[in-house]
Amino acid sequence: MTSSSILPSTFFQRSASIVAPKLLGKQLVRQYADGTTTTLFIQEVEAYDGVKDLANHGAKRRTPSNEIMFALGGYFYIYLCYGVHLMLNVVCDQPEIPAAVLIRGAGKINGPGKLTKFLQIEKSLNGKIPEPENNIWFLDSGVTVKNSDIVVTPRIGLSKYAGQWRDKPLRFVLR
């Protein structure tokens, strides 16, 4: 594993709707406290893109809990969903544009809550950069994913609060 294969922060400094499908086929690497690592191919993601996207946590207002979404792309955004599961997101785009990609599935783990539990994701990763020093990072696997390899659907689990954004095709799944 060379440092040149680690996805740089600049990879994430584009619109979440551009970054999301480009994350498919990349690898998510987690190093545990005992020194062992798990490497999983990313297979399912969702984009949350800017203040107009009513499903986006940063759409209505900036809060202490979503503050990191307003940073330059390349940081983790970890939040607790329904008081039960932590969700693993990576911030995208430019400063002051709240955007992120939710990692929904990787390897044989389907579902964002199951994924974070398997990877032992902790809230302390919120605001950290994906890099080996933080024990979690992304690698370019060298796999070329074609548009024909991607299924695009509306995001999962959104309520009426998302308005017209509820049905936008912003979920990307590797076939």
pLDDT in tens, 86-122: 999 999 999 999 999 999 999 999 999 999 999 999 9
Which residue in 8, 27, 15 sits closest to 138, CA to CA?
27
* 2 has a pLDDT exceeding 50: no
The DSSP letter of residue 113 is H
pLDDT in tens, 23-79: 999 999 999 999 999 999 999 999 999 889 878 888 888 999 999 999 999 999 999
Contacts of 32 (CB under 8 A, 6+ apart): 38, 120, 135
* Identity of the amino acid at 73: G
Residues 6+ apart with CB under 8 A from 155: 46, 55, 166, 168, 170, 171
Q: How many domains does the chain have?
A: 1
> Amino acid identity of 9?
S
Mean per-residue pLDDT over the chain, rounded:
93
Residue of 32 and 1 predicted with greater confidence: 32
Domain that holds residue 101: 3-174
For position 165, what pLDDT does the model report?
A: 79
- Closest CA relative to residue 44, chosen from 108, 99, 130, 139: 108
For the domain that residue 57 is a member of, what is the CATH number?
Answer: 3.10.300.10
Residue 1 in this model has a pLDDT that exceeds 70: no
Q: What angle do CA 58, 155, 130 make, to 5 degrees?
A: 60
The single residue listed with the structure tokens 């002051």 is: 96
* pTM as predicted: 0.92
What DSSP designation does 61 have? -
The Cα 48–Cα 170 span in angstroms is 8
* 61, 85, 95, 121, 131 from 80: Cα distances, Å: 18, 5, 23, 11, 22
Q: Residue 164: its pLDDT value, please?
A: 78
